[in-house]
Amino acid sequence: MEETKVLETLRDDYAERYGFRDEATYLYETPRGLSRRVVEEISAIKNEPEWMRQFRLRAYEIFLKKPMPTWGADLSGVDFDRIVYYARPTDRPARSWDEVPEYIKRTFERLGIPEAERKFLAGVEAQYDSESVYSNVREDLARMGVIFCSTDEAVQKYPDLVREYIGTVVSIADNKFAALNSAVWSGGTFIYVPPGVRVEYPLQAYFRINREAMGQFERTLIIADEGAFVHYVEGCTAPIYTEDSLHAAVVEIIVKRGARVRYTTIQNWSNNVYNLVTKRAFAYEEATMEWVDCNIGSKVTMKYPAVYLLGRGAHGEVLSMAFAGDGQHQDTGAKMIHRAPYTTSLVQSKSISKGTGRASYRGLLKVYPGAEHVKANVSCDALLLHDVSRTDTYPTMEIQEQNVHIGHEATVSKVGDEQIFYLMSRGLSEEEAITMIVNGFIEPIVKELPMEYAVEMNRLIALEMEGSVG
């Protein structure tokens, strides 16, 4: 079939655009493998207070005890003994771009980070392997009390805030990878937005794995105080190696009364990264939490952004887009946990499976007794491009309250011959027709991205099809 050839080259330019590597020299790195000593070393290098050292050690013990998940994607390729848990490229994050070491600067310049910052961002943080190498926030925001820095820096500068919230949304015992992250975490973003402050431009972080067999364990903590608003965008890429890397982040978000947080992820790891991430938000009264989660890269992703709707009238959304190319398994989804009355949630998932790619939607919608007048809707659409492509949908609903309205729908389809025929009869080439159909399919998610990212996403999905029909 002609149309099955289309999209075959999508991500074929990954090696050229993102897959390059630096011959980096590290100031410090731990030996491969994990031990109590490695955990203590990481804490010592960071000169952490005792409570954080204890936090790590407790988590390490739990990590040893927790079993690997037996559900979801195949994780048999994860080898905890082969991984480097910590590699430090620089002394401290730079405040101005000029201070960033030359080779790292080159990397991020190739990825377009400084350019993006000049154009439309309120602040940028860049993490290279384990440590943040650059972090900057606009002065006016800093004056209003907005904190935007690496989580390591926050432990030193704002220990009370970090100590109050870290591990409260995602417990260190939540799952094996959350425990691992809690033991060896490094970098990640800390954001605090004071009451009533609206950060009108997105804050951005860019995560880059450079080293082979690297484990990146960033820890992100976002606190939006009452009535605040912030939009945080993260992007991820890595070079292509033969040895697999592991990315196991934990993201905790607290959305206080009346506040709104939007968290956008463009995950474009290379195809040798296991991406196993725990993302969770607590949304209090009248608060809104939105996850916009785009997964294009990685070898295996297991990620189910969650919103715990804890206060009356809270609203949660997950807009999820997954693209599973040859050999990739995107096991993604959403969790909506309704614990308060009059809470609402919306999950919209779109996935595309290409070649032998497999995209799975796995979700949980839970309504606790007493959470009356909940309205929740989950819809999942899957597009299959080839006859060897695979898609799954596993949405679980546990509803323990009667006075609620719950809906779920899922569809699976292919790019229809009739749709292609229609567009071609209007004068489009087959390639243009398929591009248009695929773009239309993901449009509801893409339109939620900041303009620059939407353009990039469309470019990823569409321009790569050039010359692929025939």
Residues that bind other proteins (CB under 8 A): 353, 382, 384-414
CA gyration radius, the chain: 22
Q: What is the DSSP string of 374-401?
A: -EEEEEEEEEE-STT-EEEEEEEEEE--
Nearer to other proteins, 141 or 352 (CB): 352
Tokens of 360: 């799975």
In terms of CB distance, is 226 or 401 closer to other proteins?
401
3-state secondary structure of 143: helix
To other proteins, the closest distance from the beta carbon of 386 in angstroms equals 6
Which DSSP helix (H) or strand (E) runs through 299?
A: none
Residue 353 C-beta: closest distance to other proteins, Å: 8
- List the one residue out of 218, 252, 221 whose CA is nearest residue 236: 218
CB of 309 to other proteins, least distance (A): 18
Question: Residue 346 in contact with residue 314, Cβ under 8 Å?
Answer: no
Is the separation of the CB atoms in 327 and 298 below 8 Å?
A: no
CA 215, chain centre distance (Å): 16
Least Å distance, CB 304 to other proteins, is 15
Counting Cβ atoms within 10 Å, is residue 57 exposed (0-12), middle (13-18) or buried (19+)?
middle
Q: Which residue's CB is nearer to other proteins, number 168 or number 400?
A: 400
Closest approach of other proteins to the CB of residue 78, in Å: 24
Type of residue numbered 425:
S
Question: Would you tell me how many other CB atoms lie within 10 Å of the CB of residue 439?
Answer: 14
Residue with smaller CB distance to other proteins, 51 or 422: 422
Q: Which is nearer to other proteins, 129 or 430 (CB)?
A: 430
Q: How far is the CB of 463 from other proteins (least distance, A)?
A: 23
Cβ distance to other proteins smaller for residue 176 or 386? 386
